[in-house]
Structure formats: C-alpha cells, structure tokens
Amino acid sequence: MAKIVLFNKPFQVLCQFTDPEGRNTLAKFIRQPGLYAAGRLDYDSEGLLLLTDDGKLQQQVCDPKFKLEKTYWVQLEGAITDAAIDRLAKGVVLKDGMTRPAKCRRIEPSALWPRVPPIRQRQNDITGWIELKIREGRNRQVRRMTAAVGFPTLRLVRVAIGSWTLESLQPGQSRTEQVHLAATTDTPQKPQSRHPGSRPQNKKQRPGSRRR
C-alpha cells in the first residue's frame, strides 16, 4: 500500500516546500512529513496536485510512458471557435514540437470556486471555458496551446489526473488515500466521482472517476 494525498492547490502557490523568495509553498497547507509532489502545477494555475510517500507511485504519475490523462478546465479570452477546438484536439505546433492529439470541448463549470484574487477582466469582455484532456506535460503546455490557436488562457484549473479527481475539495484542502500500486501502467480503478465543488452523496464512498 502507498499513501497518496490529493491536494487542491490554490492560485499562486509553489509546488515545493521551501522558497527563498518567500512565496507561498506547499508547507503552508501540507503538514504530513515524507511527502513529495508527483508532477507539477504552475504557480499561477490551480487544482489537483498529487503527493505521495512512495517513489514507485510517484514515477507512475510522472513518467510520460504511463500516459495518465490530465483534465483541465480552462477559461479563455474570447469565444473560442469550432476551428480552434479542432486544432487543439488534433495537435498544435509549439516551439518544442507538435503536441499529441487531445480531447477538447466547451463547458460551463458551474461548480467551480471563485479565484482569489479574481482574473483581471473588463465588464464587457467575452470569455469562455473549455475542458482539455492531454497525455503529456510540457512546460506551461495548456497555456501555450490555447495562445497558439488565438485564445489566451485567463484561468487554468486541473480537475483530474487519471482516475483521481478533486471531487469536493476546496482550495487549500486535501484528502489522503491508501492505494495498491498497479502492476500495469495505469492507476487503480475506482467508483464514480463528481465535479469539483459538489458534495459526496455518501461520505463512506471512496473517490473515483467519471469521464466528463
């Protein structure tokens, strides 16, 4: 069994436990010793971050060969077009090469918490949301992808990694699970889960996954 902590990283928190510049880090929220972040999430991004005390599980989450799908909810500047969605899904040419095919669709994330501080937006500005699912993790990839198709990212929230989801976790909150390490290249199968911000119907039910 390995311990894994699911943490809802707030905006402008570093995915590390110390910072010489005095910025907010994981140490402000995570008190359990011996944990290491399994993957990264940008300082100005929000949402699901996994931490574990097991090196093998950390490798399964981080290593590209395991191809864990990561799900993002992205607020964009402007009303995204069908053509731009199609380009994101097929792959976008970035400075470090072509991105892999992805899944992309428009959404209305009604259960999402307000960001603190809120995004800078004029009253009449048009924005829209997409759900983007990718299986790679280049530096600031989602932001670069949306900018490449003409719709810069205003807000970026990761809501799922493989079968792990935020469920009802609010910013700064975490929950701990014990998981069996899979002999295969994917994470354990779990029961259904809910959108971020929703309340569990049964508190005893273990967190799980549902394709959105």
User: Does the annotation count 42 as an active-site position?
Assistant: yes
User: Is-contact 130 104, C-beta < 8 A?
Assistant: yes
Report d(CA 184, CA 66) in Å as an integer: 9
CA angle 49, 89, 7 (to 5 degrees): 10
Q: How many CB atoms lie within 10 A of CB 175?
A: 14
CA angle 3, 112, 200 (to 5 degrees): 55
Alpha helices in 12-140 (DSSP H): 55-62, 82-90
Half-sphere exposure of 52 (CA within 13 A, CB side): 22
Residue 102's nearest CA partner among 141, 140, 129 is 141
Could you tell me how far CA 83 lies from the centroid of its own chain? 24
Active-site residue, selected from the candidate residues 19, 42, 86, 96: 42
Handedness of CA 112, 114, 115, 120 (dihedral sign): positive
For the annotated catalytic residues, the residue numbers are: 42
